[in-house]
Chain A
């Protein structure tokens, strides 16, 4: 049987292989085929993982000596999302990234990023998690600074400083965990923390939360995000906003919820989530730079997802994961389209896009659909996921939950206003100028992302049979 280890090995091998061949065509083929193959593998494994998690044995050494890895339903689901997204984004990159500009290396770094993304969902070892976290961070730093402009370098540096502080805290947490358990396997640590002093576990939990949380862009350690996501090439913004922060969020939450279960961190997470929603929406409100606006919107959306997860109910977890799927589609589409807006007008400012909707009608229409879904306008996917979250919060009840509902609702008002303002600018003053539609590969990629958010609601019935085991991955360590 093919081992799920392929998720880690294949992209890594592809990365080195393409550097070695150093041809654009080979790099593109490898970086399209690898995630595509993994996506197919992921789908074929999903049914089995829905029944029972698949432990992976590395190099015939079993835990506790070996590094425990495991593919559960949540991991398979996230892996499929990551793989499919990256196929589409690579497809987009094929026409978006400048030719010749170390293009092969770009794809290689993307593949390394994928390795770490898959590794994060597979690993059940806390130090291994640190390693993948670092690989994810470093490949993100490199990709953010890809264009080598002043803004890109600055963003990358800030990201790097915060990421390094994060890894410092993460190591503190790992040290505390190891001291308590004498093992790095999450399962052992969870057992050890059950009998450890409360203050000790709190210390470990908080350092872990803000250690890994820096990559998940939870409030308030998210200040790198608006810079990084807006200065990166748009394809990278789509990767970062589309699945990297979501993935990091899921991993953070899963470990907190299972390994550090001795401490009830959920109220803290709810507070953080609500603050993130409000800060994100308010900051996006007055933005003139389109990508920065979208980046702030990501902060608030992460807040919404975290809020859903931290409700602590099954319904909340399922709703949060559905919303994650929606956000991955919508935000990727928005960033990818924004990339072509910038490419075609040479400006990042929304005011410079006046009438662009008449020159790029399909792109602008897709942008509108994705934005509507993000706001949660029925009958698009976003409405159903947001409604599920709110309903789950209402079912939980209590002051904090209702405050969260009110915050999300008022945040939505702000979000609608700033996103509709963009749509309004796009379709202002009919301009009788030539068509400058997106290139075909990019258009296909964006259209598929948008199809997800438009028809995603149709997925809900079939999703509902799978979402149970998938969400269960957040509550129990398989």
Chain B
């Protein structure tokens, strides 16, 4: 029997690997950015899964609610931060891709090789 957590771990590692594979194999800068985003999503799922407890409860203090069997709130906080940072980086990256396109007239990584050796 595969638990939910196992499925989630599997998904997250698959996403990370798919994302990295995209960065390795794609020439198109936009696709590279997308690849990084996919990997990011994988990481976020991984983090959330860490705090996940089968049948756990939302960790909110409220009158009358028991404080046991909470899912861990810390990874959720981490994921929020990571998402924000990821968003910022992605925006910056896409800006750079636009500027690069204006300069080079292409977004093919194999042609944007002014700097090498």
- Chain A contact residues, CB within 8 Å of chain B: 127, 131, 134, 138, 141-142, 145, 148-151, 153-158, 160-161, 163-165, 167-168, 171-172, 174-175, 178-179, 182, 184, 226-227, 230-231, 283
Q: Counting CB contacts under 8 A, is B46 at the interface?
A: yes
Contact of A155 among B16, B46, B78, B115 (CB under 8 A): B115
Q: Which residue of A lies closest to B32 (CB)?
A: A161
Q: How far is the CA of A164 from the CA of B112 in the complex (A)?
A: 19
Q: Which residues of B contact A149 (CB under 8 A)?
A: 103
Q: Which residue of A lies closest to B51 (CB)?
A: A178
Q: Is the beta-carbon distance between B97 and A179 smaller than 8 angstroms?
A: no
Q: Is the beta-carbon distance between A174 and B78 smaller than 8 angstroms?
A: yes
Q: Which residues of B contact A131 (CB under 8 A)?
A: 81, 85
Knowing A127-B78, A155-B115, A171-B82 touch, does A165 contact B100 (C-beta < 8 A)? no
Q: Is the beta-carbon distance between A153 and B99 smaller than 8 angstroms?
A: yes
Q: Is the beta-carbon distance between B36 and A154 smaller than 8 angstroms?
A: no
Q: Which residues of A contact B58 (CB under 8 A)?
A: none
Q: Is the beta-carbon distance between B20 and A154 smaller than 8 angstroms?
A: no
- Chain B contact residues, CB within 8 Å of chain A: 16, 19-20, 23, 29, 32, 36, 39-40, 43, 46-47, 50, 72, 74-75, 78, 81-82, 85, 88-89, 92-93, 96-97, 99-100, 103-104, 112-115, 117
Q: Is the beta-carbon distance between B89 and A134 smaller than 8 angstroms?
A: yes
Q: Smallest CB–CB gap between B44 and chain A, Å?
A: 8
Q: Is the beta-carbon distance between A172 and B96 smaller than 8 angstroms?
A: no
Q: Is the beta-carbon distance between A153 and B43 smaller than 8 angstroms?
A: no
Q: Smallest CB–CB gap between A223 and chain B, Å?
A: 10
Q: Which residues of A contact B89 (CB under 8 A)?
A: 134, 138, 160, 163-164, 167
Q: Is the beta-carbon distance between B47 and A148 smaller than 8 angstroms?
A: no
Q: Which residue of A lies closest to B116 (CB)?
A: A227
Instruction: Give the secondary structure class of B's interface.
Output: helix
8 A-B residue pairs with Cβ-Cβ distance under 8 Å, sorted by A, are: A127-B81, A138-B88, A148-B99, A153-B103, A161-B93, A168-B36, A172-B16, A175-B43
Q: Is the beta-carbon distance between A231 and B115 smaller than 8 angstroms?
A: yes
Q: Which residue of B lies closest to A141 (CB)?
A: B92
Q: How far is the CA of A156 from the CA of B112 in the complex (A)?
A: 12
Knowing A127-B78, A168-B36 touch, does A178 contact B50 (C-beta < 8 A)? yes
Q: Smallest CB–CB gap between B94 and chain A, Å?
A: 10
Q: Is the beta-carbon distance between A150 and B114 smaller than 8 angstroms?
A: yes
Q: Which residues of A contact B20 (CB under 8 A)?
A: 165, 168
Q: Is the beta-carbon distance between B100 and A175 smaller than 8 angstroms?
A: no
Q: Which residues of B contact A184 (CB under 8 A)?
A: 74
Instruction: Give the secondary structure class of A's interface.
Output: helix
Q: Which residues of B contact A141 (CB under 8 A)?
A: 92, 96
Q: Is the beta-carbon distance between B96 and A160 smaller than 8 angstroms?
A: yes
Knowing A156-B96, A161-B23, A171-B82 touch, does A226 contact B115 (C-beta < 8 A)? yes
18 new A-B contacts, CB < 8 A, other than A150-B103, A168-B39, A178-B74, are A127-B78, A127-B81, A149-B103, A150-B100, A150-B104, A151-B114, A154-B100, A154-B112, A154-B113, A160-B92, A164-B40, A165-B20, A165-B39, A168-B40, A171-B46, A175-B46, A175-B50, A230-B115
Q: Is the beta-carbon distance between B92 and A142 smaller than 8 angstroms?
A: yes
Q: Is the beta-carbon distance between B46 and A172 smaller than 8 angstroms?
A: yes
Q: Is the beta-carbon distance between B115 and A168 smaller than 8 angstroms?
A: no
Q: Which residues of B contact A174 (CB under 8 A)?
A: 47, 78
Q: Smallest CB–CB gap between A210 and chain B, Å?
A: 12
Q: Is the beta-carbon distance between B100 and A153 smaller than 8 angstroms?
A: yes
Q: How far is the CA of A178 from the CA of B88 in the complex (A)?
A: 24
Q: Smallest CB–CB gap between A31 and chain B, Å?
A: 22
Q: Which residue of A lies closest to B89 (CB)?
A: A164
Q: Which residue of B lies closest to A183 (CB)?
A: B74
Knowing A131-B81, A179-B50 touch, does A157 contact B29 (C-beta < 8 A)? yes
Q: Which residue of A lies closest to B104 (CB)?
A: A150
Q: How far is the CA of A126 from the CA of B74 in the complex (A)?
A: 13
Q: How far is the CA of A122 from the CA of B74 in the complex (A)?
A: 21
Q: Which residues of B contact A227 (CB under 8 A)?
A: 115
Q: How far is the CA of A89 from the CA of B50 in the complex (A)?
A: 44
Contact of A151 among B74, B81, B97, B115 (CB under 8 A): B115
Q: Smallest CB–CB gap between A350 and chain B, Å?
A: 15
Q: Which residues of B contact A171 (CB under 8 A)?
A: 43, 46-47, 82
Q: How far is the CA of A166 from the CA of B97 in the complex (A)?
A: 20
Q: How far is the CA of A139 from the CA of B3 in the complex (A)?
A: 42
Q: Smallest CB–CB gap between B81 and chain A, Å?
A: 6
Q: Is the beta-carbon distance between A154 and B115 smaller than 8 angstroms?
A: yes
The 7 A-B pairs with the shortest beta carbon distances in the complex, nearest first, are A150-B103, A227-B115, A171-B43, A164-B36, A157-B96, A134-B85, A168-B39
Q: Which residues of B contact A148 (CB under 8 A)?
A: 99
Q: How far is the CA of A14 from the CA of B7 in the complex (A)?
A: 47
Most B Cβ at <10 Å: residue of A149, A154, A156, A160: A154
Q: Which residues of A contact B75 (CB under 8 A)?
A: 175, 178
Q: Which residues of A contact B85 (CB under 8 A)?
A: 131, 134, 167
Q: Which residues of B contact A163 (CB under 8 A)?
A: 89
Most A Cβ at <10 Å: residue of B78, B88, B92, B115: B115
Most B Cβ at <10 Å: residue of A127, A163, A231: A127
Q: How far is the CA of A283 from the CA of B47 in the complex (A)?
A: 40
